[in-house]
Structure 1
Amino acid sequence: MLAKANHVLLLSLTITFIFTIAFAFEPSPLQDFCIADSTSSALVNGKVCKDPMLTQANDFFFSGLHLPGNTSNFLGSRVTPVNVAQIPGLNTLGISMVRIDYAPWGLNAPHTHPRATEILTVLEGSLQVGFVTSNPENRLISKVLQKGDVFVFPIGLVHFQRNIGHGNAVALAALSSQNPGVISIANAVFGSNPPIASDILTNAFQVDKNVVERLQTIF
């Protein structure tokens, strides 16, 4: 009986260990910090660490999120990122953030973050937000947010935000990666380099070839 109990315990621990590895998108650091060395050409999964003795406060500092982003574009929104590119000290720490500014009826168009879950807080204005679940349901989960409200977009799922007010809106979002990445759906599909063959997109979207080619010139 004791041997059987030990076997069950060992099996449980093994399964827990496997799942822990599977869900560890960014491993825990093995030192206090690993300041990204922007001068290194070495290719690693992340950034090479610079000599810790050269660490300074500015390696962990960014200034500028109090400044409104320029929303004078066709979407009427602007994302100001604060990831490892802006703060080298974020390297290996598995977190970053963005400020998002929206003009009246401005849109942060459908996109995904392939390496991060996002948690968004509305600082000013009203936002309609939503994400779409994976195949085969493709169910839209959507809600209207007011100042102070918080909403989560699960990792990898297509999501969006739209300002539904007549004034400017501002949101702050944290992401569970030092470099979450962004795949803008329209840009990826119609603006790839080289372009996806128009007949493929015509068939996929069930639209006329002229529509596809026009969209490809826009993006």
Structure 2
Amino acid sequence: MFKTEILAAVLAICSVSLAAPAPAPTDAMPPASVTETAAATATPPATPTGLSKVQQILLSDTRADAINNVLKDDKDFLFDFNTARKFGPGAGGEIVQATRKAFPALTGTGIGMAVGFLGPCGFNTPHVHNRATELLIVTKGTVVSEMVVENGVENEAKQPRNVMNTLTELQATPYYMGALHTQFNPTCDNVTFVAPLSSDDFGANTIAQAYFALEDDTIRAAAGNHVSGADVDKFRQFISTNVALGVEKCLMDCKIPKN
């Protein structure tokens, strides 16, 4: 009898709970939808301060955030190679570079640009680009181009092959990433070329300066021990920073005195 009464009481309580309707939402606090909740929490992060534009762009969550928060001015998307010229440091001309540091809008694009201005007999000394392939296009004048690609690329005499061409207006040549290359203006007129590169931070390593930055003993060994310490110092003193006057015949033809 006692067990029967307990079971009846439990069933009565369950029936009341199941029958009770759920409380209706009040007008003051309507239930939030999933979309509304997500939108409420997706506040944009604060724009970093005290950083360069390149650093801010690299820290941006999206390209849209970088443009909206960092590249706010339309002029951020304009680079003027003429105003960027310094007319030096070499006597034969200069190379103006549009990298992400000089032109932050390039950050993350994987492309950069160099424009070369070579005066009469101007010589862009041998160099490599650490992180990019280059396509050089002559837009004015004549350029003699040379490239040594890598070990194992040889001529018929089994010597390192020098890929050499004379380029005139609107002719082009590629320089592979890490390949040694150089340009020379063999005329008495000014030359201009443009060179897109496959990196916004392509880098450059000028071979003569890099070679003579080594220890004297290393230089002598690499040269077959035919260079003395005094010669090394002499070469260090006379190597130009970037673009130098070169090729004696051109200097004579253009009546340019040697230094």
TM-score (norm 2): 0.61
Aligned residue for 1:49? 59
- Aligned-residue offset at 1:62: 1.1
- Aligned-residue offset at 1:73: 2.8
Aligned residues: 176
Q: Secondary structure of 1:172's match?
A: strand
CA distance in 1, matches of 2:51, 2:205: 26
CA distance in 1, matches of 2:198, 2:140: 23
Aligned residue for 1:188? 210
CA distance in 2, matches of 1:81, 1:64: 8
Equivalent residue letter for 1:213: D
Choose which of 198, 202, 218 in structure 2 pairs with 1:200.
218
Contact 2:84 2:96 in 1 (8 A): no
- Aligned-residue offset at 1:67: 7.5
- The yes-or-no answer on 1:151 pairing with 2:173 is yes
CA distance in 1, matches of 2:99, 2:89: 24
- The yes-or-no answer on 1:88 pairing with 2:104 is yes
CA distance in 2, matches of 1:110, 1:38: 40
- Residue by residue over 1:142-165, the C-alpha shift from the partner in whole angstroms, topping out at 9 and shown as x without a partner, is 100001111111111000000011
Equivalent residue letter for 2:173: F
The CA RMSD measured in Å over matched residues stands at 2.7
Change (3 A) 1:39 1:117: farther
Change (3 A) 1:99 1:38: farther
Structure with the bigger RCO (C-alpha within 8 Å, sep 6+) is 2
Q: Equivalent pairs: percent with the same residue? A: 26
CA distance in 1, matches of 2:204, 2:221: 26
TM-score (norm 1): 0.72
- Aligned-residue offset at 1:217: 3.5
Choose which of 67, 89, 112 in structure 1 pairs with 2:128.
112
CA distance in 2, matches of 1:214, 1:127: 29
- The yes-or-no answer on 1:40 pairing with 2:40 is no
Change (3 A) 1:38 1:147: farther
- Aligned-residue offset at 1:66: 7.4
